[in-house]
Amino acid sequence: MEKMNAKEALNLLIKDVISDPSEVSLYENRWVRHCLYVGVAAGRIVRAINENSEHYAYFKDYIAEHGPLDEDYAIVSGYIHDIGRKISHPLHTTEGYKYLCDLGYMEEARSTLTHSFIDNDINNSADPVTGEDRYNFINNYLHSVELTPYDNIVQLCDLFCLETGFTTVERRLLDITKRKGIYENSLIHFNKTMELLSRFELDDDYLEMKADELGCSKDDLSFYSIFPEISKETLDKREEDREELLKFIRDNMPDTPQLLEKK
């Protein structure tokens, strides 16, 4: 099977869902628009990392070993990560995986399962996995693959891309958490999300040097500078959103926090 390219991923994403591309703005296709933003964001992040790969502590060893990150593969992984929503909303991870595997896209199917679990750990999810068989299937799959930057990139993109565009992870988590509610691992998921985000910042000493050279602040060169569509107002509200989110988690946290599974 040939590798899927970004154009094919886009066609497959909208196949049987949208016959007229202008329909993509319709309310019922919100998830498709979210996938488009995740794909675009994944591509942009790869370009940014490749341009400065030696100044991203988390990614530089992988790139030294494997070469520059593959922008097209990242875009494909982003476009199709939620493709299972064609079949079932609550079971979209496993249904998306089956859908792509049935078409022969075994490697591309990866992001359908990995995108919801930061660092490919089933505990690091915004909501619990339903069904024992499904839990075991996903957990076994996550243990069978080695974590790559592409997994992390789609995991992060899923956490700052709304169906209306890019936002901060704090704003996106507020949106997810208020819609889906809280469960035992919500606080773990929040902490993991912030840790994940930090890996996409340039190394601090390089940032400092670059900010000096350009006569700007370090904030102007932060991860979010790759996404100038995010308004200053939203960026300035990060701390406020973070506090609101943490308060919401703490106020609604079940009495006996427990990990689903310890690694």
Backbone angles phi, psi at 44, to 5 degrees: -65, -40
CA triple 1-145-148, angle to 5 deg: 90
- Pull the structure tokens for residue 190: 């929040």
Q: Which of 82, 95, 151, 170 binds Fe ion (CB under 5 A)?
A: 82
Q: Work out how close the CB of 118 gets to Fe ion at its nearest, in angstroms, rounded to a whole number.
A: 13
* 162: enclosing H helix or E strand: strand 161-162
Q: Work out how close the CB of 63 gets to Fe ion at its nearest, in angstroms, rounded to a whole number.
A: 25
Which one, 153 or 221, has the nearer CB to Fe ion?
153
* 161: enclosing H helix or E strand: strand 161-162
Quick check: 170 binds Fe ion (CB under 5 A)? no
Which one, 66 or 134, has the nearer CB to Fe ion?
134
Which one, 82 or 201, has the nearer CB to Fe ion?
82
Interface region with Fe ion, contact rule CB under 5 A, candidates 137-145, 151-159, 173-181, 217-225: 151-159
Q: Work out how close the CB of 57 gets to Fe ion at its nearest, in angstroms, rounded to a whole number.
A: 27
Which one, 108 or 158, has the nearer CB to Fe ion?
158
Q: Report whether 188 contacts 124 (CB < 8 A).
A: yes
Q: Which of 95, 108, 151, 158 binds Fe ion (CB under 5 A)?
A: 158
Residue 144 makes CB contacts below 8 A (sequence gap 6+) with none
- The count of other CB atoms within 10 Å of the CB of residue 42 is 28
Q: Which residues bind Fe ion (CB under 5 A)?
A: 82, 158
